[in-house]
Every structure is written in C-alpha cells, then in structure tokens.
Chain A
Amino acid sequence: MLRRYVLRRLFAAALQLLALTVAVFFLIRLLPADPVSRFVGLNASAEAYAQAERNLGLDRPLLVQLGQYLGVLPGAGPGLLQGDLGTSWVTGSPVLDEIAHTLPRTLELVTLSFVVAFLIAAPVGMLGALRPGGTADRGVFVYSLFAGSQPEFWWGLLFVYVFFFSLGWAPAPLGVLSPMTSAPEPVTGFMLIDSLLAGRPEVFVEALHHYALPVLTLVFILSGPIIKMVRQNMARALESDFVLYARCAGLPGGAIARAAFRAAMAPSMTLIGILYGFMLGGAVLVESVFSLGGLGQYAIRSILAFDYPAIQGVVLVITAVSLLVYLALDLIHAAIDPRVSYA
C-alpha cells in the first residue's frame, strides 16, 4: 500500500515536473526579452547577431528547440530526459554542475534555519496555547504577525549593520567562508558536513559563524508563521472534545498534553511543507545579501542575464525539491495520524 502510494506520487510529480518545464520553456521564449542582444551587444552587426542567434539555438523553430532540450531529437545530443540540463550561456559550464555546486548551499541554509526556527518557535507557540488570552500569549501573537510580514532582505541588512558594523560580532557578509580560507574537498557539497569529513573542525566553526546572520534572518521571518500555526493547532487541540473528555476521565495532565501535542502536530505537517517550499524561493534574497553562493543567487544571475538553460534548470530543480519535500511531509503526516489513509 505504502509503496504503491509513494510510487504513484513520484510518478505524478514527474509528470508535473515535465509539464512545468515545458511550460516554462515556452513561456520564456515567448516573452519579449532578447537574450541575443544581451550577449552580442546593442550595436552588433546583423551577421554577428545572426551568428550569435545560431549559437544559442534560437533560430530554430520552437518545437525543434524543445525537442533538442528534451533530448528526443534523433541525431542531436543528449537532453533533459537523459539527465543533461544543457550548458549555461553565461559561463559555458554544464548547468547540472553549476546547480550541483549551488543547491547544497541553499539547502544547508534553509534546513538549518528551519530546524532552529522550529526548535525555538514551536515551544513558544505551545506555551501561548496553554495560556490563551494572557499577556504573554497576546504579545507572542502580535510578534508572530509582525515577523511573518517582514522583508527579509532588509532585516538581513539591518543585522549586518548591527552585528557586523556596530558590534563586530559577525563576519563580513562575503560568503560562507572568509575569502582567505581554503574550502575543503566538496564531497557532499554541504559545507558543514564536508568540513567535518575533511577533518577540519575550524572550518566547520567558521562556516557556522558565517551562517549565523543569514540563519538569524530566516529564523526571524519563519518564526512568525510557525508560532502562529503551532499556537492555533495546539489551542484547537486543547479545546477539542477529546481533551475535555480526557480531563473528565481523570487522566494525568502530562498524558493529556502529549495527546494534544500529537493532535496538533499532524495538521502542521502540511503547512511546514508549504513553508519549506516557500523558503526555498525566499532564501534568494537572503543569499544575495550575504553572498552565500547558493541556488538563489544563481537564479538571480541567470534571470537577469537571460540565460535560458540555466533558468530552466533552476526551475526544474527547485520544483523537484519542493515536490519531494511535500511527499516526505505527507508521509510523516500519515504516520502520525491514523485517520489519514493512503488515498
């Protein structure tokens, strides 16, 4: 049952990915932007322009271009369906490589932020639910509304000003490591893991140090919706009939609290999935502020440079990660809540 469900979801996800990729493919080619001039300059001659267009493959009919991209044209090279995401028009490197370098950085940032945010925000939300209406609860509630509506890029800058410029606690926002430090061997791509694998704990600490501010920024933003959601679900669980009934039956308070917590966590799983997907895209701005070199920055660069293959690659990869995260969280939800069946 479980295996069939997972397979079905994966299959549906693959279809969705393909549909999205094709849609984006056409979308960006139908928009008025002109990548050719971007490379060749505005004052290029007609032949140079035509040559550049040929190089980029933009002179062929759309469907042929699509076929080439997917790798289904006979005689042409490998494409998407063979695992080749094309070559970046800006750097000339394979898009897959570039993404493989940048994606882990973003994942590291987002996952780290999520874990920290959850560890801090969830207990706060729960406390708010246990004493509803109290001053602490209202204060926390207003905070959650505030935090969830903030521009993360500005807060990042603010933190840089306060913690780097004024207090000197944080390092300069120049990347994951100081420009002077040599990076360890990229095994997984995750700086924190790689530094430990390479037996260089000082790099681990330095990376953490550099991650501190960007994680702080994201945690601040994330704490808003997480507190709100945990508090709401917990309050709902505590007011539910079965909690009242458990009190009627004289069950000990600890057992009741644990049961309420479990009932509150199940619906939260879906929202966490949505938040994670949201953060994957939202980390873009934080990455820019702190020059972390993640997928977000890569996306910005590609979009502003009209680098079509890179753009398509980014869209594909981010959506794929989001869909996987949704699937994982749905499975956790089903594991916690017996009412959910593998429908």
Chain B
Amino acid sequence: MSLGGAEAAVAARSTPSRTRRRPDPLFALGVAIVAVAVLLALIGPEIAPYDPTQATLFYNEPPPPLAEWPGLLRATLAGELPQPPHWFGTDASGFDVFSRVIAAPRIDLAIALAANVLSLGVGVLLGLVAGYYTNWATALLMRASDVMQSFPVFISAMILVALAGRATGNIVLALCLLYTPIYIRLTRAEVLTQRKRGFVEAARAMGSTELRCALVHVLPNSLAPALIQSSVTIGFAILLTAGLSFVGAGVRPPTPEWGLMISTGANQIILGEWWPSVFPGIAISLTVFGFAVLGNALERRYDGN
C-alpha cells in the first residue's frame, strides 16, 4: 500500500527551521545587562571599595575627571594608592557613591524578584482555577482584579508601604498585591483558550480526569504569557521601589537603594552637584532597560513559535 501521502507530507515540512533563527543583538544586550545586574546583586556589596553604609570623611567630593580614570585604575590595581578613589564621588553625607551604586542591586533585585516570583506563583494558580471554574467566587476574583487594575499603581504602593511600615517585606507584599492581578488575568485568558484545544479534548476522550488534563496539558501550555511578562514586571518593580524610596515611602536610609540615592541627591542638583543623583539614575535606567529588552526579545521568540 502506498505511503505516498504520509511520507510526502512528513518530508515536505521537515525543513529544520530551528537552525535558521537569526542572531538577535537585542536579546544579547538584554541578557548581558541582566547578567551584570544579577552579578552585582550577588557580590556587589562585597567588592565595593567602601562600606556602602558608612560615611567617609569626604563630603561632596566630585568624581575624578574621565581622563584620569585609566591612570587611577592602574594605580589601584598596583596597590599604590592609600585609599581607593571615589570613582563616582561622594554625596552630602560622605557616602561613596560608587560603592552604594553597586551595592544597591542586591536590595532592588531581591525585592523585585521576590515580588515577581510570589505574584507569579499565586497569580498562575489563581488564574488556572479562575479559568476552570466560573462561579461567584471566581467572578468576584475577576471583578476585584479589575478594580485593582483601574487604580494607579504607584499610589496604591505608597499607601500600602507607608501605612504598613517601611520594611522590605512590606514593599514585597505591596508589589505582590499589585502584580498578582496581572498574572491572574494573563493566565486565565490563556487557560480559557488552551482548555478547548484538541489535545485536551482527546485526553478527556481517552479517559483522563479533568484534574490531570489541567495539570499535564493546560497548565504547561498556559505559562508562556506570564513568564514573558515576568521580565518586564521585574523591571517595573525596580522602578516602583526606586520611586517609592524617592518620595520617602520605600526603603529606609541608609540602605543603599538607587531611588533613595537620587532623592537625597536631588537637592544638590540645583546647586550643580550632579553626581550623587546622576550615577544611580544611569544605573536604574540601564538595568530596567535591560529587563525590558529581554522581555521583548522573549516575546518575539514566543510569537515566532
């Protein structure tokens, strides 16, 4: 008997499109930036030349001119200098800006990651449940999500943190409260679609229980939008933490945190002392950009599937 049809069909589509993915410079950039941020989060405070929470004796020292940097670097590595240079200068309280800038990712990333992981976990599970059951409880859940999403994120976060006490844990919880509805909504939408897929019905038809279908077929196929959103969410969590600290509703001084640093340096900027605010700003700017780029690259990859 002729296999003609089947063989031809298989052969025609077997072009290995997998190997043809064009190199994506944007993806590489995103990965690089995020990698640096994670690295600093892990070892930043340890490799900082000064203790980020201890004031030095030098106030408002401007950073050394760029031309001098190579020479200073060589001298530092050779151990010729009595004290490490203040690469980014010092601020009004005498803190070394460079040390604080590279020590800050630890707290910013820790908060952002913790908040994201928690929201993701809770959001995906609730989204799965909401996608399967349509009763008053899930309707209420979705309504509540709606209401929370119609309210400005920053002000809610401020209220939660300021009134619960400015502890790191509270910041994480506040962020969780804000981001979980997003994940619930994303996952639920995907679950509603995936539930109707042919292979899920086939599994039901072959005698699989609904629970097994949900866990084995629907859930793994519904995770993608939430995971892709994660990268962007982590970036925004960092922005939010920094913003909260900027207005005084975030981490407490003297914790090194980018937003806090920008805030304390804000008064000086009008006087022309730009370095306490600008360097942490550049750091935030690049880091969140890195996460956004990564998230976008992941999104494009997934779309191509």
Contact yes or no, B164 A32, CB < 8 A: yes
What is B's interface to A at a CB cutoff of 8 Å? 26, 146-147, 150-156, 158-160, 162-165, 235-236, 239, 242-243, 246-249, 259, 262, 266, 269-270, 272, 274, 277-278, 281, 284-285, 288-289, 291-293, 296
Q: Once the chains are docked, how many angstroms separate the CA of A31 from the CA of B278?
A: 35
Contact yes or no, B262 A157, CB < 8 A: yes
Q: Once the chains are docked, how many angstroms separate the CA of A314 from the CA of B155?
A: 9
Contact yes or no, A33 B163, CB < 8 A: yes
The count of A-to-B residue pairs whose CB atoms sit within 8 angstroms is 137
Contact yes or no, A284 B154, CB < 8 A: yes
Contact yes or no, A160 B162, CB < 8 A: no
Name the interface residues of A281-325: CB closer than 8 Å to any CB of B: 281-282, 284-285, 288-289, 296, 299-300, 303-304, 306, 311, 314-315, 318-319, 322-323
Contact yes or no, A153 B262, CB < 8 A: yes
What is A's interface to B at a CB cutoff of 8 Å? 16, 19-20, 23-24, 27-28, 31-33, 142, 145-146, 148-151, 153-155, 157-158, 160-161, 164-165, 172-173, 277-278, 280-282, 284-285, 288-289, 296, 299-300, 303-304, 306, 311, 314-315, 318-319, 322-323, 326
Contact yes or no, A300 B247, CB < 8 A: yes
Q: Which residues of B contact A23 (CB under 8 A)?
A: 147
Partner of B150, one of A146, A155, A314, A319: A319
Contact yes or no, B292 A148, CB < 8 A: yes
Closest A residue by C-beta to B154: A281
Partner of A281, one of B153, B248, B269, B293: B153
Expressed in whole angstroms, the minimum distance between the Cβ of A243 and any Cβ of chain B is 20
Partner of A151, one of B165, B239, B293: B239
Q: Which residues of B contact A27 (CB under 8 A)?
A: 159
Closest A residue by C-beta to B296: A145
Q: Once the chains are docked, how many angstroms separate the CA of A158 from the CA of B262?
A: 11
Q: Which residues of B contact A142 (CB under 8 A)?
A: 26
Expressed in whole angstroms, the minimum distance between the Cβ of A320 and any Cβ of chain B is 10
Closest A residue by C-beta to B247: A300
Closest B residue by C-beta to A150: B285
Contact yes or no, B247 A145, CB < 8 A: no
Q: Which residues of A contact B160 (CB under 8 A)?
A: 31
Q: Which residues of B contact A161 (CB under 8 A)?
A: 269-270, 272, 274, 278
Partner of A303, one of B163, B259, B269: B163
Contact yes or no, B270 A281, CB < 8 A: no
Q: Once the chains are docked, how many angstroms separate the CA of A20 from the CA of B146?
A: 11
Expressed in whole angstroms, the minimum distance between the Cβ of B132 and any Cβ of chain A is 24
Q: Apart from A282-B154, A299-B155, what 4 extra A-B contacts exist at CB < 8 Å?
A: A158-B278, A285-B247, A311-B159, A314-B155
Q: Which residues of B contact A304 (CB under 8 A)?
A: 162, 247-249
Q: List 5 A-B contacts (CB under 8 A).
A: A145-B293, A157-B269, A285-B243, A300-B158, A314-B155
Q: Which residues of B contact A158 (CB under 8 A)?
A: 278, 281
Q: Once the chains are docked, how many angstroms separate the CA of A120 from the CA of B56?
A: 47
Known: A281-B154, A300-B158, A323-B150. A150 touches B288 (CB 8 A): yes
Partner of A154, one of B146, B270, B281: B281
Expressed in whole angstroms, the minimum distance between the Cβ of A301 and any Cβ of chain B is 10
Q: Once the chains are docked, how many angstroms separate the CA of A323 from the CA of B292?
A: 28
Contact yes or no, B249 A303, CB < 8 A: yes
Q: Once the chains are docked, how many angstroms separate the CA of A164 from the CA of B272?
A: 10
Known: A151-B239, A303-B163, A304-B248. A165 touches B150 (CB 8 A): no
Q: Once the chains are docked, how many angstroms separate the CA of A94 from the CA of B162?
A: 23
Known: A299-B155, A318-B151, A322-B152. A149 touches B292 (CB 8 A): yes
Partner of A315, one of B155, B266, B296: B155
Q: Which of B151, B243, B272, B281 has the most CB of A within 10 A?
A: B151
- In the A-B complex, list the 8 residue pairs whose CB atoms are closest, starting with the nearest: A281-B152, A154-B281, A31-B163, A149-B292, A33-B163, A149-B288, A281-B154, A303-B162
Q: Which residues of A contact B285 (CB under 8 A)?
A: 149-151, 154
Q: Which residues of B contact A314 (CB under 8 A)?
A: 155
Q: Which residues of B contact A149 (CB under 8 A)?
A: 235-236, 239, 285, 288-289, 291-292
